[in-house]
Amino acid sequence: MSRLGDIGAKLHRGEIGYDFVGKRRLWYGVSILITILAFAGLGVRGLHMGVEFEGGAVFTTEATDVSVERAREVAEEASGSQALVQSLGNDGSLRIQVSGLDTDQSNITREALAEELGIPTQELNAELVGPSWGSQIANKAWQGLAIFMVLVVIYLAIAFEWRMAMAALIALIHDLTITVGVYALVGFEVTPGTVIGLLTILGYSLYDTVVVFDGLKETTKNFTKQTNYTYGELANRSLNGTLVRSINTSVVALLPVAALLFIGGGVLGGGMLNDIALSLFVGLTAGAYSSIVIATPMVADFKMHEPSIKAHDKKVLAKRAKREAEENTGTVSEAEADDPPQDAGDDESAAGAVVGPRRQPVSRSRGRNRPSGKRR
């Protein structure tokens, strides 16, 4: 077995582990700090919306010797607006995008670019997007996101419980906030590809969260029938049991996305590949993080405030304190000292002793040195 597999087996058996639930306030603080930085990026730099949302013109050139910087200068001088120029490949073709242009401004910009490129105006491909169409796209994107969130909450509330549904919703909002904040700080353009990437990462994040919640549900199924673990301890044990699986799933998903982002978009000039790949890369990373240090600890927080859970945890801690005191004073019996802790999923051990007379084991010395009863 590999070293990683050995660690995963030990985590699953509870031999080793990290106290995520016990140190949840530390991780909450880290998440709040990251969220504040994301909002700061949105407030300072804002989102650079594409022409699909704000309206404008997009010009596409054939192979040319004009540099990206020069094309940007010409477009900005002719239009009076900020231009975004991207290289579409190694042949020198360009995509020039200018937001907020009407038909007349688009024609002026097109003529200036064609003159700089040394080609007839008719040969320069131009697409004009109206602002009303862009606003419709933005509204549809928000509607799709809202419908997705509502369906997620309903499904998790039915499949698990409302506390898990609320924790998953908070984790999803956390992932979206971080991704949008990174977009603002990096300055990437928000396009329909970005929206596709955001909806995709919500699915991945939800998958990780459901895997963790399924393990939590199984581990705490017979929680009240045992007195060796508190709810927080069982939740942490369940989380450690699925930790390696969550990390492996996220790493495998991140590898092709990283190839799209750093090779396809960065080296080859992939254009829209950057929009999709960046949202996927940041969102998958944030989703793996939130499913581990936010979702499960938050469910444990919700559950541990319930009166019945509080009473049970108090009973477990009192029994543990009594046991430790007896062990320290040497009054604990040998059978109690060697008694292994019960597992919450073990129905037989968790159910307690059967009521009724206890059958004593037959003594090995019974009948020794007695006549066998046979007559000679």
CATH 3.30.70.3400, the chain: domain bounds: 56-129
pLDDT number for residue 331: 60
Task: Say how many CA atoms lie within 13 Å of 250 toward its Cβ.
Answer: 25
Considering the segment(s) 3-49+133-309 as one domain, its CATH architecture is Up-down Bundle (1.20)
pLDDT (mean) for 285-314: 88
Q: Is the pLDDT of residue 91 over 80?
A: no
Encode pLDDT of 107-134 as tens digits: 888 888 888 888 888 778 888 777 666 6
pLDDT in tens, 152-171: 889 888 888 888 889 988 98
Mean pLDDT for the chain overall: 77
For 38-76, the pLDDT digits (tens) are 888 888 888 877 777 777 888 888 877 778 888 888 888
Q: Is 56 left (phi over 0), alpha (psi -120 to 50) or beta?
A: left
> Domain 56-129's class?
alpha beta
Output the pLDDT for position 217. Answer: 86
C-beta atoms surrounding 69 within 10 Å: 9
pLDDT at 276: 78
Q: How far is residue 326's CA from residue 67's CA, in Å, rounded to a whole number?
A: 81
Parts of the chain belonging to CATH 1.20.1640.10? 3-49+133-309
Q: Is residue 364 scored above 80 in pLDDT?
A: no
Percent of the chain residues topping a pLDDT of 90: 2
Is the model's pLDDT at 260 over the cut of 50?
yes
More confident residue, 14 or 289: 289
